[in-house]
Amino acid sequence: MTPQTALSPQTLPEGFVYLQDIDPTILQEVRYALHHNFVGRPILAYNAPIIITTEPVAFALKAVQKELQPFNLTLKVYDAYRPQDAVDSWILWAEDPDDQVMKAEFYPTIDKKDLFKEGYVGKRSSHTRGSAVDLTIVPLPVPTQPTWKPGDSILDGRLPKGQRFTDNSIDMGTGFDCLDEMSHTMNPTLPPEVRANRLLLKTLMEKHGFENYWKEWWHFGLIDEPYPDTYFNFPVE
């Protein structure tokens, strides 16, 4: 996985930017444009593996990245702006009890129809307003990691690092999007190293204007968001 190069393939709505144009050193692994996510296939309206976000979010992430780099660490972003069409497709997916291919990894203890009720997926999302981001920290030089493909093993995202699917993130205790109590940011049952890693990410993000969602160690929303009442629906491309 390599840093992104500057590129602007479409004209974005006013106030939105491609993260790579603001900071090309931040890694991107856009899970919803790929198969390795809780649905198991690319999500509607994610037409390219690229991160789009509002301009204030991008510059705040750039500031966090600047603090990490002297310690040979980098941010890796999994998701930011999310089209409303994508969210609506998840509502339909949650109503289909036969589509459970990724349950063992991403929601092992929760009935998929309850993911919205339990607060792990929102029918109205701050991602769709352009002011939320899902991310982690990765060491430098960047470790290699495999690309999950349909047909690969589906491993419980709660397993210890080295036993769950390989991710080049520092150990955050679960895989990204593991919708489980173990992903609650301040879960006290986790090993000290994991809690310290989560606290590092949380502290730096809060320093630069974000607030963590307590059920998901990876999810942060910009407190002073520019479009608090607007839900966008242009594609990621």
pLDDT > 70: what percent of the chain? 96
Question: What pLDDT digit, counting tens, does each position of 124-140 carry?
Answer: 899 999 999 999 999 99
pLDDT at 4: 47
b/e for 166-196, b at 16 or more Cβ within 10 A?
Answer: ebbbbbbbbbbbbbbebbbbebeebeeebbe
pLDDT at 87: 95
The region, left, alpha or beta by phi > 0 then psi within -120 to 50, assigned to residue 138 is beta
pLDDT score of 8: 46
Per-residue pLDDT reduced to its tens digit, 41-100: 999 999 999 999 999 999 999 999 999 999 999 999 999 999 999 999 999 999 899 999
pLDDT value of residue 116: 85
Q: Which residues pair with 135 in a beta bridge?
A: 77
At residue 9, the pLDDT reads 55
Please give the domain boundaries of the chain with CATH numbers for all domains: 16-222 (3.30.1380.10)
Model confidence at 145: pLDDT above 60: yes
Please give the C-alpha separations between residue 70 and each of 139, 203, 235, in angstroms, as whole numbers.
11, 17, 35
The tokens for 23 are 């900071």
Give the model's pLDDT for residue 6.
43
CA 166 to chain centre: 16
Cis peptide before 192 (omega within 30 of 0): no
pLDDT at 3 over 50: no
Catalytic residue numbers?
216
How sure is the predictor about 121, in pLDDT bands with cuts at 50, 70 and 90? confident
The mean of the pLDDT values for the chain is 94
Single-letter amino acid code for the residue at 195: R
- Answer whether residue 19 shows pLDDT above 70: yes
pTM assigned to the model: 0.94
Structure confidence at residue 120 as a pLDDT band (50, 70, 90) = confident
| pLDDT tens per residue across span 203-231 | 999 999 999 999 999 999 999 999 999 99
Kindly tell me if the per-residue pLDDT of 2 is higher than 50. Answer: no
Which pLDDT score is estimated for 7?
45
